[in-house]
Amino acid sequence: MQLYNNLSAKERTALIEEAGKDRLTISFYKYALIKNTEIFRNHMFLAWDELDVLGRIYIASEGINAQLSVPAENFNTFKQHLDTISFLENVRLNIAIEQDNFSFLKLKVKVRRKIVADGLNDKTFDVTNKGVHVGAEQFNQLIEDPDTVLVDMRNHYESEIGHFKNAVTPDVDTFRQSLDIIEEDLKEHKEDKKLVMYCTGGIRCEKASAYYKHKGFKNVFQLEGGIINYTREVKSKGLENKFIGKNFVFDERRAECITDDVIASCHQCGKPADIHTNCANEACHLLFIQCNACREEMENCCSTPCMEINRLPYEEQKALRKGQGNSNDIFKKGRADHLRANKNLRNINEHFNATQTER
C-alpha cells in the first residue's frame, strides 16, 4: 500500500503534459478536533492519490490546511469525498483566480503539531471565540471607516507585491512575529478602533481574531475567504476592487495577478518588478524579486558567488553542498544583505500614524 509520493517533480510534469487535461488549483482549511491524525492522514492520502490529487496538506489535532491541485474531471468526486467527512461537509473551497496545471507536482500529506505555525498556546484562550466574518461588500465599507485599522496578517514578502489600500503591512518574516507586534502597536486602540484583518485564504485570521479578542480588542473583523474569495466576489458582484498588485501564493505559480499595478521593485537593480524567483544555486535557494534583465544577467542567481557556483558541473555543486545546510538567508526572502536594492517595508507604527493622519 503506497502512502507516500514516489515520483519526482520532473516525472510528474511529464505525466501531466502527456495527460493534456486541465487541473484546478484549490485551497481550504478547517479547524476541527482530529483524534488520530496519522490514521486520518493515511486515509486522505489514499483517497486523493487515487484521484490524482497533488499538493501540500497539513493535518494536526486542531484541523486541516490544504493547498492542492486536482484534475478538473475529478473535481466532483473529490468534493463528494470531502462531504463524506463530517467536519469537511460543505467546507468552503477557494478556487484559484489563475489556473496552472503545474501549480503542484507532488502529493504531500503531513502530520504537524499545528496547521499554521502561530506559536500560540491554544489552551490559554478560547480559539472558537472568533472575530466577525465579513464578505467583500461589508469589508469595503469597513475599510473606508476612519475608525478602522486594516491589518495585513501575511509576511513582508507577500504584502510587498500586493496589498489592500491603506493596509498596515507588518515588516515580519513569519506569522507568529506579527501577532505581538500588532498588539503592542495598537494597544491604545483596543476599544475605540475596529480591527479588520485579512490574509490569503482566511486561515491566519481565523486564529488571530480569537487571539486578539482574548487580548481585549472589542471590535474584531476578518475577511471571509481572504484575498482569493474577495477577488471572486468583487468580480461577480461588480464591486470596487480595493486590492492592488499581486496575491502571493505558496505553489509553483508564486502569485496571482489581481490588478496590473506593479508596486514592488527588483531586489537587484531597483526597477519595478514583482516576480518572485528562487536562486538557481540550490545551496542558496533564496526567494527574492528579480526583473527579467537581472534574471538574464545573473543567470537566475541572487549574487555573483551563487552564479559562479551554479556554473559548475552538477556533481561538483553536489560535493560542495555535502554536509551543509541551506544558509539562513533563505528565510530572509528578499532581505538578504547582499541584495543591492533591498527594500524594507515601513514600520507598523509609521504606517498606522500615516494612514490615520490622511483620514
345 pLDDT above the threshold of 50: no
Asked if 33 and 101 count as a contact pair (C-beta separation under 8 A), the reply is no
Q: Where are the alpha helices (DSSP H) in the chain?
A: 9-19, 37-50, 75-83, 136-143, 156-159, 175-185, 203-214, 226-237, 292-297, 304-310, 314-321, 348-358
187 is written with which cell numbers? 494597544
What is d(CA 290, CA 300) in angstroms, rounded to the nearest whole number?
A: 8
User: Regarding predicted confidence, which is higher, 1 or 17?
Assistant: 17
Per-residue model confidence (pLDDT) at position 4: 85
Separation between Cα atoms, residue 161 and residue 245, nearest integer Å: 6
For residues 37-45, average pLDDT = 97
* Contact predicate 160/345, CB 8 Å: yes
- Band the pLDDT of 160: cuts 50, 70, 90: very high
User: For residue 330, what pLDDT is reported?
Assistant: 54
DSSP at 72: G
pTM exceeds cut of 0.75: yes
Using only C-alpha atoms, what is the Rg of the chain?
Answer: 21
Phi, psi of 248 (to 5 degrees): -65, 135
Report the range of poorest mean pLDDT among 191-195, 196-200, 221-225, 318-322. Answer: 318-322
Positions marked active-site: 199
Query: What are the structural domains, with CATH classification, of the chain?
Result: 21-111 (3.30.70.100), 125-240+346-358 (3.40.250.10), 276-332 (no CATH)
Q: How many helices and strands, by DSSP H and E, does the chain display? A: 12, 14
312-336: average pLDDT: 73
Partners of residue 278 on adjacent β-strands: 287
- Distance from the first to the final alpha carbon of the chain: 61
Task: Summarize the confidence of residues 6-35 as an average pLDDT.
Answer: 94
